[in-house]
Amino acid sequence: MNNRMTASGSLALAALLFCCLPQAAQAADDACAALKHYKLQGGAVDAVEVLAPPATFDIGFQGLPPLPVTAGFCRVQAHLTPTPASNIRIEVWLPPADAWNGKFVGTGNAGFAGNFTSPYLFMRSAVAKGYAAAGTDTGHVGNRMGEPPSADWALHQPEKIKDYGYRAEHLTAIAGKALVQAYYRHAPKHAYFQGCSNGGREALMEARRFPDDYEGIIAGAPAADWVGLATGFAWNTLAAHKSPEGALTTGKLAILQSAALKQCDLLDGVSDGVLEDPRQCKFDPASVECPNGADGDSCLNAAQVETARKIYGGPINPRTGASLFPGFAVGSEAVQWGQWITGPATDQSAFATSFYRNMVFSDPDWQLSSLDFDHDVDKARAVAGPALDSNDPDIAAFAKRGGHLLLYQGWADAAIPPQATINYYEAVRQKIGAARTDSAVRFFLVPGMAHCLGGPGPNDFDTLDALDHWVDSGQAPERLVAAKYETEYADLLGLPKGEPQRTRPLCAYPQTAHYKGGGSADEADNFICRRQ
């Protein structure tokens, strides 16, 4: 009898494989094709197609080959035109109905946007988990990821700046949900947003301006105070290139980092090349100054010490002495400072110049050397701040509707100063109250993580799963587990991760991870979360 039952089961399975699945696939293809004729409010659908493994997909990153499609989906390309000057391109990726988890994810952009690279990476991961996902170029065509950042598209284009600043992501949320409704015949049960860097700024903009768009929001390394950030970029660029004598070369950055780690690495109980909380490290760059301010292979000259102090300290108003934006943390100088801050042609220099040139002064010939850190910063806040800054801490409406905000920030980030994100969290707590903040917000600082990903510390962790569990269960995450893999950026490159080399808990702020004193220091279970 058991043999006959097995044979019967095999016949049934064969019938399913050769009959029902092709029919389901055809139904999904037909539903996708039908969206070409969908009447999208405020815009139009431009193209639809079905993509599935083993196809590959070009994410538009300079020098990166096409990545494999990890799960099938209906790809919808559309555009939105809220003003005559607007042309907001969007994409919505829709898994087949039998693979959809019933949820929707909006995704954020990097830098000055103008492309889909960052949204594609988030969308690719989300669709593999069964989410419907959406992204946008924020209303302009810009440079490819991997090329120097530029905002030339913003010159004399106030509506495009608004699209980039806040309008495109909001309208993408509306259009994305409408296409979800049309494809599946019912609305998503949950809607989330995730982004990092400029995408983190967009995330906080959604929480503040459009609290009903998403019930769960992930904001990584948010460039929330855009004006302050660009001003800090300008300050660092001018400091790092003031004179050849003060230049911080790769070797000098390694000296600074090594000295800070030697002084403070054991503060969390384990020597692992990563500072758990760099604020606890009272490192003075003068400790590695060469005798008599000279120069040498194992020390810094006086001008280099001054450069380091300016980058650690951040920009100040020359008239009042007031801080304009935080500086950068100690202990990770050799990780990304060369790319972002101190190299000959840095990302910070390009961002600051392009922002002030195109969005503040509307002068294509404006030079960074002419920036007045007193009056020009006020002008930038008045001209560009209303469209770009998302550091207003009043997210009471988002919290009141039951919204969940998951913040994270890498301590080794050389683009967004970690203290800026700490300041934002503390401002939220002061503005909406401790109880409401504790209910609606969780903040995780990531030791040794660079800008959004990578770095010497464990930097691979799943914020989307953590947010989803929080929304479904009502239990806010107090601890995430981050891993360090041998292949850095494995997800980005479409490569297998393998086994982690190290795991470490990320503790909800203001707690930090501390070694228990026994067991492997490479295993998260041997650490506890506690306050300093």
Q: CA separation (Å) from 4 to 7, 12, 13, 442?
A: 5, 12, 14, 56
Amino acid at 380: A
The answer to whether the beta carbons of residues 443 and 425 sit under 8 Å apart is yes
The answer to whether the beta carbons of residues 140 and 163 sit under 8 Å apart is yes
Q: CA separation (Å) from 84 to 155, 163, 165, 362, 380?
A: 16, 12, 17, 20, 25
SS3 sequence, 272-317? CCCCCCHHHCCCCHHHHECHHHCCECCEECHHHHHHHHHHHHCCEC
Amino acid at 7: A
Q: What is the CA 137 to chain-centroid distance, rounded?
A: 15
Q: CA separation (Å) from 345 to 144, 237, 297, 342, 356?
A: 17, 9, 24, 8, 17
In this structure, what DSSP letter does residue 149 have? Answer: P
Number of CB atoms found within 10 A of residue 386's CB: 12
Structure tokens at 257: 């980092």
- Of the candidates 288, 250, 232, which has an alpha carbon nearest to the alpha carbon of residue 418? 232
The CA-based angle 193-195-196, given to 5 degrees, is 155
Report the relative pairing of strands 512-515 and 500-507 from DSSP bridges. unpaired
> Among residues 197, 332, 354, 390, which one is catalytic?
197
What burial class does residue 258 get, using C-beta atoms within 10 Å of its C-beta: 0-12 exposed, 13-18 middle, 19+ buried? middle
81: left (phi over 0), alpha (psi -120 to 50) or beta: beta
* Helices within 16-95 (DSSP H only): 21-34
> Among residues 413, 460, 468, 514, which one is catalytic?
413
Q: Is the dihedral of CA 121, 127, 133, 134 positive or negative?
A: positive
Per the annotation, the verdict on 197 as an active-site residue is: yes
Structure tokens at 406: 């998951």
- Of the candidates 335, 305, 294, which has an alpha carbon nearest to the alpha carbon of residue 239? 305
Per the annotation, the verdict on 413 as an active-site residue is: yes
> Among residues 79, 140, 451, 514, which one is catalytic?
451
Q: What φ, ψ does residue 255 adopt, rounded to 5°? A: -65, -45
The CA-based angle 66-138-62, given to 5 degrees, is 30
- DSSP H or E stretch at residue 257: helix 250-264
Q: Hey, which residues are catalytic here?
A: 197, 413, 451
